[in-house]
Homo-oligomer: A and B are copies of this chain.
Amino acid sequence: MNRDNDHSTQCIVLISGFAFRHKISKDGKRQIVSIHLAGEVINLQSLFLEAMDHNLQALARCSVVLIPISALRSLIFARPPIYAAFIIRSMVEASIYREWILNNGWRDARARIAHILCEFAVRSDALGINHGGIYNLPMTQEQIGDAVGLTAVHVNRTLKSLSNDGLITQSADCSAPTA
């Protein structure tokens, strides 16, 4: 992401595809803190905070629209309902963060991975982008591991285990979890 598209001056709307946000710890580990689907403004907090405490990254190919922050600020101050909608969206994101803290805290590998698959399925349903119980999850096993705090190797074994138990089925190009 070059200087012209700097997310400190532009808000980014994800039009198609997927993106995620992550932090890098001092020892080089990457922790994915949120996943974003089409239709979401993926750096809402830039409207209110100057500093960025994490990084944005696209999952596979995606298209975005950039809106200058100054324009969005004018909009929300002129239209209180839009302002409120953005705030509520942020609150919902905070709720998802809390859920992730719980997910990474106590659960074992099967539960963590099942949770992230289910969350993805529910959000895909809400957007109407599932195909009859088939979901397109464009994350590598390493990325899943970075989201739930497991190594790619163990993610692999756990997915196999879920698969063997008939809880999920995977297709070639991507994965297709079913409840």
Residues of A within 8 A of B (CB): 21, 23, 25, 29, 31, 33-34, 45, 48-49, 53-54, 77, 80, 84, 87-88, 90-95, 97-102, 104-107, 148-149
Contact = CB atoms under 8 A, between A and B. Distances in A.
B33 A98 contact: yes
A21 B107 CA distance: 19
The winner among A49, A93, A94 for most chain B CB atoms within 10 A is A94
A60 B169 CA distance: 49
Number of copies: 2
A102 B104 CA distance: 9
A100 B102 contact: no
A104 to B, nearest CB: 4
B149 A104 contact: yes
Name, among A31, A95, A101, the residue most crowded by chain B CB atoms within 10 Å (CB to CB).
A101
A42 to B, nearest CB: 13
A134 to B, nearest CB: 27
Given A77-B80, A84-B48, A94 B104 contact: no
